[in-house]
Amino acid sequence: MNLDDTIAALATPPGRSGIGIVRLSGPLARRFAERCFLSSHCLQPRKLTLGVIRDPDTSERIDEVLMAWMPAPHSYTCQDVVEVQTHGGGQVLQAVLALALCQGARLAEPGEFTLRAFLNGRIDLAQAEAVQDIILAKTQAALRIAQGQLGGRLSQEVGALRSRLLSVYAQLQASIDFGDDVAERDLVPDLSLALEHLGRLLSGAQQGILYRNGVRVVIIGRPNVGKSRLLNALLGSERAIVTPIAGTTRDTLQESIDLGGIPVELVDTAGLAETADPIEQLGIARAHQALEAADVLLLVVDASIPPSPADQAAAQAANGRSALLVLNKADLVPLYDYDELLPGVEHVATSALTGAGLDSLREAIRQLILRGTMVSDDSTLVSNPRHQGLLARVQQSLLRAQETAAAGGYPDMLAADLQEALNALGEITGETASNELLATIFSTFCIGK
């Protein structure tokens, strides 16, 4: 990849829209504006200017546009950047992009604009990854965490840790290289403080990852217990077909909801039962596949009738899993005792028909998802599994270093553990990231970002 190339790409999704944007970055961006943009106004830095885009070779007019010119280094990529706001039709956008390529630009690689921002020092690697997280955020909570990361909060935490460890490492290297009188045991307090800092970051990581990635909640049960109606009730819309005929649902149906900031994929499944119908058998097979991939199971029963062998068979599928027992049809009386169906699992009485108990069910699902996590509203939450893994590596390295220092062990061994910790921290913010790692991260971005 050559940073001296001028790159171009659509910065908005293809298709019909009110406005579309073509973005260029590199040394030829300014020349593109001068050759292809006509306006009665002078093009001023960081201001939108109304004019016309036309082919300079044929004088063919392409579209009336707004153009923004952002000269280096005060731009997203720290290079000369031009953005052309056109009407959102696909043909217009493709024509402007083709014109940019004819003027010497090349099509950008996925994430190349953000990669250039990173390589040119405008943002670090954690901030670059936050750009993608902002785009993909499914809830406001996930968005707030990503915005905090883009603002540098995680980077500041990592930087503070790195500075502390560099100070310890420098003292240790002076002892090794010049025979300075540094007792390894004197380094234990600094290592302990670093480990406390790491512990705080890691304690919120599981929750942060939940907000970023979400969870899969699968609704299971025998036929005609109200699974599809429950899905509709939780969604607040008539998404699934509901009839009194057993076997109406013959495939999995997936929809997303925001559960207190956690993105939840709700999956309705075919009723679990013995059947000779080959189509129903396919649906039941898919239901089993869905429950195997579930993070949380909602076992739904019809609490207005006693437990049946089919209920017990469905309960076997949920045994030992993270699950809730949903006592549906609670608007009917009497309600039968299902305590022995899934011992130790929380029961929630609901009526998917009237809406009774739905708020309690939503909260029970949320609490089950968050069980074992450190609940926090801190916007510096670690939400990226890559960062969590690297911080865990740092923690293991420092625990070894602390043990070595406390025992008065060899300085070289202590230095090796500290170096490993520093390298892992550098992989979070990018100082020690390999080209292979960068390629992997930025390949997940869209082309225009």
> pLDDT, tens digit, for every residue of 62-115?
999 999 999 999 999 999 999 999 998 889 999 999 999 999 999 999 999 999
CA angle in degrees (0–180, nearest 5) for 128-134-137: 140
Q: What are phi and psi of 132, to 5 degrees?
A: -65, -40
> pLDDT, tens digit, for every residue of 223-253?
888 888 898 889 887 776 666 666 556 667 8
Asked which of 30-44, 185-199, 276-290 is least confident by mean pLDDT, the reply is 276-290
Q: Sorting pLDDT into bands at 50, 70 and 90, what band is 14?
A: confident
Is the pLDDT reported for residue 334 higher than 80? Answer: no
Quote the distance between the C-alpha of residue 121 and its chain's center.
24
Is the pLDDT reported for residue 430 higher than 70? Answer: yes
How far is 35 from 120, CA to CA, in rounded Å? 27
Structure tokens at 270: 């075919």
How far is 184 from 417, CA to CA, in rounded Å? 13
Task: Tell me if the pTM is above 0.75.
Answer: yes
Our separate counts of H helices and E strands in the chain read 15, 13
Class of domain 7-124: alpha beta
How far is 226 from 239, CA to CA, in rounded Å? 14
- Higher pLDDT among residues 50 and 407, named by residue: 50
Is the pLDDT reported for residue 185 higher than 80? Answer: no
- Determine the pLDDT at residue 246: 62
Q: Which residues pair with 69 in a beta bridge?
A: 45, 82
| Domain 128-204+380-429 sits in CATH 1.10.287.1770 | no
Q: What is the fold, at CATH topology level, of the domain defined by 211-370?
A: Rossmann fold (3.40.50)
> pLDDT, tens digit, for every residue of 362-416?
999 999 998 867 655 555 689 999 999 999 999 999 999 998 888 776 788 888 9
- Determine the pLDDT at residue 286: 87
Which residue ranges make up each domain of the chain? 7-124, 128-204+380-429, 211-370
How far is 30 from 68, CA to CA, in rounded Å? 11
Q: Which helix (H) or strand (E) holds 93?
A: helix 90-102
> pLDDT, tens digit, for every residue of 351-372?
988 989 999 999 999 999 988 6
Classify strands 323-328 and 347-349 as parallel, antiparallel or unpaired: parallel
CA distance between the termini of the chain: 16
Query: How far apart, in Å, are the Cα atoms of 251 and each of 220, 246, 443?
Result: 12, 13, 33
% residues pLDDT > 70 (the chain): 93
Nearest Cα to 5, choosing from 86, 94, 96, 119?
A: 119
- Determine the pLDDT at residue 282: 83
